[in-house]
Amino acid sequence: MLIGAHVSPAGGLAKAVERGVERGCRAIQIFNQSPRMWRPTAYGEGDFAAFRAAMADSPVEAVVIHAVYLLNCGSEDPDIRAKSLTSLTHSLRIGAAIGAAGVVLHPGSALRGDPGAAIERAGAVFGEALAESESCPLHLENTAGTGGTLGRSFEELAGLIEAGGGDGRLGLCLDSCHLLASGYDIRTAAGLEETLERCDDVVGLERLGSLHLNDSQTPLGSNRDRHANLGDGELGEEGCMAFLSEPRFEGLPVVMETPGPDKRGTSAGEVAYAFSLRERGLAARGI
Ligand SMILES: [Zn+2]
Ligand SMILES: [Zn+2]
Protein backbone atom coordinates (compact mmCIF):
# COMPACT_ATOMS: atom_id res chain seq x y z
CA MET A 1 0.00 0.00 0.00
CA LEU A 2 1.55 3.26 -1.17
CA ILE A 3 0.44 5.80 1.44
CA GLY A 4 0.83 9.47 0.61
CA ALA A 5 -0.75 12.86 0.12
CA HIS A 6 -1.95 15.48 -2.30
CA VAL A 7 0.89 17.98 -2.78
CA SER A 8 1.43 21.18 -4.73
CA PRO A 9 3.59 21.34 -7.87
CA ALA A 10 4.18 25.10 -7.31
CA GLY A 11 7.63 26.05 -8.60
CA GLY A 12 7.78 23.12 -11.02
CA LEU A 13 6.55 19.53 -11.30
CA ALA A 14 9.69 18.12 -9.65
CA LYS A 15 8.94 20.27 -6.56
CA ALA A 16 5.91 18.07 -5.94
CA VAL A 17 8.18 15.07 -5.49
CA GLU A 18 10.28 17.07 -3.00
CA ARG A 19 7.14 17.94 -1.01
CA GLY A 20 6.13 14.29 -1.04
CA VAL A 21 9.55 13.24 0.28
CA GLU A 22 9.37 15.88 3.05
CA ARG A 23 6.05 14.37 4.15
CA GLY A 24 7.26 10.76 4.07
CA CYS A 25 4.99 9.84 1.14
CA ARG A 26 5.22 6.73 -1.00
CA ALA A 27 2.60 8.15 -3.37
CA ILE A 28 1.68 11.70 -4.33
CA GLN A 29 -1.23 13.36 -6.08
CA ILE A 30 -0.99 16.66 -7.96
CA PHE A 31 -3.16 18.97 -10.02
CA ASN A 32 -1.62 19.35 -13.49
CA GLN A 33 -2.82 22.95 -13.65
CA SER A 34 -4.37 25.60 -11.44
CA PRO A 35 -7.51 23.91 -10.10
CA ARG A 36 -9.81 26.84 -10.75
CA MET A 37 -8.67 27.91 -14.22
CA TRP A 38 -9.22 26.38 -17.63
CA ARG A 39 -5.88 27.60 -18.90
CA PRO A 40 -3.35 24.74 -18.84
CA THR A 41 0.09 25.14 -17.33
CA ALA A 42 2.62 24.88 -20.16
CA TYR A 43 4.93 22.04 -19.16
CA GLY A 44 7.56 20.81 -21.57
CA GLU A 45 9.77 17.77 -22.02
CA GLY A 46 12.36 19.24 -19.61
CA ASP A 47 9.76 19.44 -16.81
CA PHE A 48 8.70 15.84 -17.42
CA ALA A 49 12.30 14.60 -17.46
CA ALA A 50 13.07 16.49 -14.21
CA PHE A 51 9.97 15.00 -12.62
CA ARG A 52 10.84 11.45 -13.66
CA ALA A 53 14.42 11.90 -12.40
CA ALA A 54 13.17 13.23 -9.04
CA MET A 55 10.82 10.25 -8.71
CA ALA A 56 13.56 7.76 -9.56
CA ASP A 57 15.78 9.24 -6.82
CA SER A 58 13.05 9.20 -4.17
CA PRO A 59 11.02 6.73 -2.12
CA VAL A 60 7.89 8.02 -3.91
CA GLU A 61 6.73 5.15 -6.08
CA ALA A 62 3.48 6.42 -7.58
CA VAL A 63 1.96 9.68 -8.78
CA VAL A 64 -1.65 10.33 -9.65
CA ILE A 65 -2.98 13.45 -11.33
CA HIS A 66 -6.24 14.97 -10.13
CA ALA A 67 -8.14 16.62 -13.00
CA VAL A 68 -9.30 20.12 -12.09
CA TYR A 69 -12.71 20.77 -10.51
CA LEU A 70 -14.07 22.92 -13.36
CA LEU A 71 -14.58 19.90 -15.59
CA ASN A 72 -18.11 18.67 -16.09
CA CYS A 73 -18.05 15.99 -18.75
CA GLY A 74 -21.79 15.42 -18.22
CA SER A 75 -22.80 19.05 -18.80
CA GLU A 76 -25.70 19.93 -21.07
CA ASP A 77 -23.68 22.92 -22.32
CA PRO A 78 -21.65 21.87 -25.41
CA ASP A 79 -19.07 24.59 -24.67
CA ILE A 80 -18.39 23.21 -21.16
CA ARG A 81 -18.22 19.69 -22.58
CA ALA A 82 -15.72 20.76 -25.26
CA LYS A 83 -13.54 22.52 -22.68
CA SER A 84 -13.77 19.49 -20.39
CA LEU A 85 -12.67 17.19 -23.21
CA THR A 86 -9.67 19.40 -24.04
CA SER A 87 -8.63 19.65 -20.41
CA LEU A 88 -9.11 15.94 -19.67
CA THR A 89 -7.15 14.94 -22.78
CA HIS A 90 -4.37 17.30 -21.70
CA SER A 91 -4.28 15.74 -18.20
CA LEU A 92 -4.10 12.24 -19.69
CA ARG A 93 -1.21 13.24 -21.95
CA ILE A 94 0.69 14.73 -19.01
CA GLY A 95 -0.12 11.57 -17.06
CA ALA A 96 1.54 9.52 -19.80
CA ALA A 97 4.55 11.86 -19.89
CA ILE A 98 5.22 11.54 -16.14
CA GLY A 99 4.26 7.88 -15.82
CA ALA A 100 1.20 8.53 -13.65
CA ALA A 101 -0.80 5.62 -12.26
CA GLY A 102 -3.89 7.46 -13.46
CA VAL A 103 -5.82 10.68 -13.84
CA VAL A 104 -8.49 10.93 -11.14
CA LEU A 105 -11.68 12.63 -12.28
CA HIS A 106 -14.97 13.61 -10.67
CA PRO A 107 -17.21 12.13 -13.38
CA GLY A 108 -19.47 15.18 -13.71
CA SER A 109 -22.85 16.39 -12.65
CA ALA A 110 -26.38 16.68 -13.91
CA LEU A 111 -27.47 20.13 -12.80
CA ARG A 112 -31.00 19.30 -13.80
CA GLY A 113 -32.77 16.65 -15.75
CA ASP A 114 -32.15 12.97 -16.14
CA PRO A 115 -28.90 11.58 -14.67
CA GLY A 116 -29.07 8.83 -17.32
CA ALA A 117 -28.63 11.38 -20.11
CA ALA A 118 -25.78 13.07 -18.22
CA ILE A 119 -24.07 9.68 -17.78
CA GLU A 120 -24.27 9.11 -21.55
CA ARG A 121 -22.84 12.57 -22.28
CA ALA A 122 -20.01 12.07 -19.77
CA GLY A 123 -19.23 8.61 -21.15
CA ALA A 124 -18.90 10.02 -24.66
CA VAL A 125 -16.33 12.56 -23.41
CA PHE A 126 -14.34 9.86 -21.56
CA GLY A 127 -14.28 7.73 -24.71
CA GLU A 128 -13.01 10.62 -26.83
CA ALA A 129 -10.37 11.68 -24.30
CA LEU A 130 -9.06 8.10 -24.14
CA ALA A 131 -9.02 7.87 -27.93
CA GLU A 132 -7.03 11.12 -28.15
CA SER A 133 -4.41 10.08 -25.59
CA GLU A 134 -2.28 7.04 -24.98
CA SER A 135 -1.63 4.71 -22.08
CA CYS A 136 -2.55 6.73 -18.95
CA PRO A 137 -5.59 5.25 -17.14
CA LEU A 138 -8.60 7.36 -16.19
CA HIS A 139 -9.86 6.74 -12.64
CA LEU A 140 -13.45 7.82 -12.05
CA GLU A 141 -13.84 8.93 -8.43
CA ASN A 142 -16.94 8.02 -6.45
CA THR A 143 -18.71 11.13 -5.18
CA ALA A 144 -20.42 12.03 -1.91
CA GLY A 145 -23.68 12.42 -3.82
CA THR A 146 -24.07 16.17 -3.32
CA GLY A 147 -26.56 17.80 -5.69
CA GLY A 148 -26.54 16.14 -9.09
CA THR A 149 -23.02 14.72 -8.94
CA LEU A 150 -22.56 11.55 -10.95
CA GLY A 151 -20.83 8.53 -9.43
CA ARG A 152 -22.54 8.38 -6.02
CA SER A 153 -23.08 4.61 -6.25
CA PHE A 154 -21.32 1.60 -7.76
CA GLU A 155 -24.28 1.27 -10.13
CA GLU A 156 -23.71 4.82 -11.45
CA LEU A 157 -19.96 4.24 -11.72
CA ALA A 158 -20.59 1.04 -13.69
CA GLY A 159 -22.97 2.99 -15.94
CA LEU A 160 -20.32 5.66 -16.52
CA ILE A 161 -17.70 3.05 -17.42
CA GLU A 162 -20.12 1.37 -19.80
CA ALA A 163 -21.07 4.70 -21.38
CA GLY A 164 -17.34 5.38 -21.82
CA GLY A 165 -17.02 2.22 -23.91
CA GLY A 166 -15.73 -0.05 -21.14
CA ASP A 167 -12.10 0.55 -22.17
CA GLY A 168 -9.49 -1.23 -20.05
CA ARG A 169 -8.02 2.20 -19.20
CA LEU A 170 -11.26 3.18 -17.41
CA GLY A 171 -10.74 2.58 -13.71
CA LEU A 172 -11.97 3.62 -10.31
CA CYS A 173 -10.68 5.79 -7.50
CA LEU A 174 -12.54 5.15 -4.24
CA ASP A 175 -12.61 7.97 -1.69
CA SER A 176 -13.34 6.87 1.90
CA CYS A 177 -15.09 10.13 2.87
CA HIS A 178 -17.29 10.04 -0.22
CA LEU A 179 -18.15 6.35 0.33
CA LEU A 180 -19.36 7.08 3.84
CA ALA A 181 -21.23 10.25 2.84
CA SER A 182 -22.97 8.45 -0.01
CA GLY A 183 -24.25 5.76 2.36
CA TYR A 184 -21.67 2.96 2.33
CA ASP A 185 -20.91 2.03 5.94
CA ILE A 186 -17.15 1.49 5.91
CA ARG A 187 -16.59 2.33 9.59
CA THR A 188 -15.51 -1.25 10.36
CA ALA A 189 -13.40 -3.88 8.57
CA ALA A 190 -16.55 -5.99 8.08
CA GLY A 191 -18.49 -3.06 6.63
CA LEU A 192 -15.64 -2.23 4.27
CA GLU A 193 -15.44 -5.85 3.14
CA GLU A 194 -19.16 -5.94 2.39
CA THR A 195 -18.89 -2.66 0.46
CA LEU A 196 -15.99 -3.95 -1.62
CA GLU A 197 -17.85 -7.15 -2.41
CA ARG A 198 -20.70 -5.00 -3.70
CA CYS A 199 -18.19 -2.96 -5.74
CA ASP A 200 -16.72 -6.14 -7.15
CA ASP A 201 -20.14 -7.46 -8.19
CA VAL A 202 -21.25 -4.22 -9.83
CA VAL A 203 -18.04 -2.72 -11.26
CA GLY A 204 -15.28 -5.31 -10.80
CA LEU A 205 -12.41 -4.67 -8.38
CA GLU A 206 -9.90 -5.23 -11.17
CA ARG A 207 -10.78 -1.66 -12.19
CA LEU A 208 -9.72 -0.22 -8.84
CA GLY A 209 -6.61 1.87 -9.55
CA SER A 210 -6.25 4.38 -6.72
CA LEU A 211 -7.70 5.42 -3.37
CA HIS A 212 -8.32 8.57 -1.38
CA LEU A 213 -8.21 8.29 2.39
CA ASN A 214 -10.03 11.14 4.11
CA ASP A 215 -12.05 11.08 7.30
CA SER A 216 -15.52 12.63 7.07
CA GLN A 217 -16.88 15.57 9.05
CA THR A 218 -20.42 14.55 8.17
CA PRO A 219 -22.24 11.29 8.95
CA LEU A 220 -23.14 8.18 6.98
CA GLY A 221 -25.46 9.00 4.09
CA SER A 222 -25.22 12.79 4.60
CA ASN A 223 -24.33 13.36 0.90
CA ARG A 224 -21.94 16.12 1.93
CA ASP A 225 -18.28 16.28 0.98
CA ARG A 226 -16.40 17.57 4.03
CA HIS A 227 -13.01 16.02 4.62
CA ALA A 228 -11.70 15.64 8.17
CA ASN A 229 -8.24 14.76 9.43
CA LEU A 230 -7.67 11.05 10.00
CA GLY A 231 -9.36 9.77 13.15
CA ASP A 232 -11.14 13.10 13.74
CA GLY A 233 -14.32 12.34 11.83
CA GLU A 234 -17.13 9.86 11.42
CA LEU A 235 -14.80 7.13 10.12
CA GLY A 236 -12.68 7.47 13.23
CA GLU A 237 -9.51 5.55 13.97
CA GLU A 238 -11.23 2.19 13.51
CA GLY A 239 -12.49 3.06 10.04
CA CYS A 240 -9.12 4.45 8.97
CA MET A 241 -7.33 1.38 10.37
CA ALA A 242 -9.66 -0.90 8.39
CA PHE A 243 -9.13 1.08 5.16
CA LEU A 244 -5.35 1.14 5.55
CA SER A 245 -5.09 -2.60 6.19
CA GLU A 246 -7.61 -3.81 3.61
CA PRO A 247 -5.92 -6.66 1.70
CA ARG A 248 -7.65 -5.76 -1.60
CA PHE A 249 -5.93 -2.35 -1.51
CA GLU A 250 -2.37 -3.74 -1.35
CA GLY A 251 -0.02 -2.18 -3.88
CA LEU A 252 -2.33 0.75 -4.70
CA PRO A 253 -1.65 4.46 -4.12
CA VAL A 254 -3.64 5.73 -1.09
CA VAL A 255 -3.64 9.52 -1.14
CA MET A 256 -4.82 11.77 1.70
CA GLU A 257 -6.57 15.07 0.92
CA THR A 258 -7.16 16.18 4.48
CA PRO A 259 -7.31 19.76 5.80
CA GLY A 260 -4.22 19.02 7.92
CA PRO A 261 -3.47 20.17 11.47
CA ASP A 262 -2.95 23.80 10.41
CA LYS A 263 -5.38 23.79 7.46
CA ARG A 264 -2.50 23.75 4.99
CA GLY A 265 -3.02 20.22 3.74
CA THR A 266 -1.88 16.80 4.87
CA SER A 267 1.22 17.09 7.09
CA ALA A 268 4.22 14.80 7.59
CA GLY A 269 2.79 13.96 11.01
CA GLU A 270 -0.45 12.81 9.47
CA VAL A 271 1.31 10.63 6.90
CA ALA A 272 3.30 9.02 9.75
CA TYR A 273 0.04 8.57 11.68
CA ALA A 274 -1.48 6.80 8.65
CA PHE A 275 1.46 4.36 8.56
CA SER A 276 0.93 3.65 12.28
CA LEU A 277 -2.83 3.15 11.78
CA ARG A 278 -2.01 0.67 9.02
CA GLU A 279 0.20 -1.32 11.41
CA ARG A 280 -2.56 -1.32 14.05
CA GLY A 281 -5.11 -2.33 11.40
CA LEU A 282 -2.96 -5.23 10.25
CA ALA A 283 -2.47 -6.36 13.88
CA ALA A 284 -6.24 -6.19 14.49
CA ARG A 285 -6.76 -8.44 11.47
CA GLY A 286 -4.08 -10.83 12.76
CA ILE A 287 -1.91 -10.22 9.67
ZN1 LIG B 1 -11.01 12.49 -3.23
ZN1 LIG C 1 -14.04 15.09 -1.34
The per-residue pLDDT for range 61-80, each reduced to its tens digit, is: 999 999 999 999 999 999 99
Q: Examine the pLDDT at 155 and tell me if it is beyond 80.
A: yes
Q: Examine the pLDDT at 35 and tell me if it is beyond 90.
A: no
* Helical H segments across the chain, by residue range: 13-22, 45-56, 78-98, 115-131, 154-163, 176-181, 189-202, 236-244, 268-284
pLDDT, position 111: 80
| 38 phi and psi angles, rounded to 5 deg | -75, -30
Ligand nearest to the CA of 213: 1
Confidence of residue 85 (pLDDT cuts 50, 70, 90): very high
From the centroid of its chain, how far is CA 11? 23
pLDDT, position 274: 98
Q: Examine the pLDDT at 112 and tell me if it is beyond 90.
A: no
Ligand nearest to the CA of 104: 1
- Cα(276) to centroid(ligand 2), Å: 23
The per-residue pLDDT for range 88-107, each reduced to its tens digit, is: 999 999 999 999 999 999 99
Over residues 279-285, the mean pLDDT reads 98
Confidence of residue 287 (pLDDT cuts 50, 70, 90): confident
- Cα(148) to centroid(ligand 2), Å: 15
Over residues 132-154, the mean pLDDT reads 96
Over residues 120-148, the mean pLDDT reads 97
- Cα(230) to centroid(ligand 2), Å: 14
What are the chain's domains? Answer: 2-284 (3.20.20.150)
Strand partners, 140: 105, 172
Q: Examine the pLDDT at 60 and tell me if it is beyond 90.
A: yes
- Yes or no: say if 253 and 212 are a contact pair by the CB < 8 Å rule: no
pTM recorded for the entire structure: 0.97
Ligand nearest to the CA of 255: 1
- Yes or no: say if 146 and 223 are a contact pair by the CB < 8 Å rule: yes
The one-letter amino acid code at 50 reads: A
Question: Cα–Cα distance between 185 and 239 in angstroms, integer?
Answer: 9
DSSP letter for each residue of 205-262: GGGEEEEEE-EESS-TT-----EE-TTSSSSHHHHHHHHHT-GGGTTSEEEE----TT
- Cα(218) to centroid(ligand 2), Å: 11
pLDDT, position 114: 83
- Cα(175) to centroid(ligand 1), Å: 5
- Cα(152) to centroid(ligand 1), Å: 13
pLDDT, position 130: 98
- Yes or no: say if 55 and 21 are a contact pair by the CB < 8 Å rule: no
Over residues 23-49, the mean pLDDT reads 94
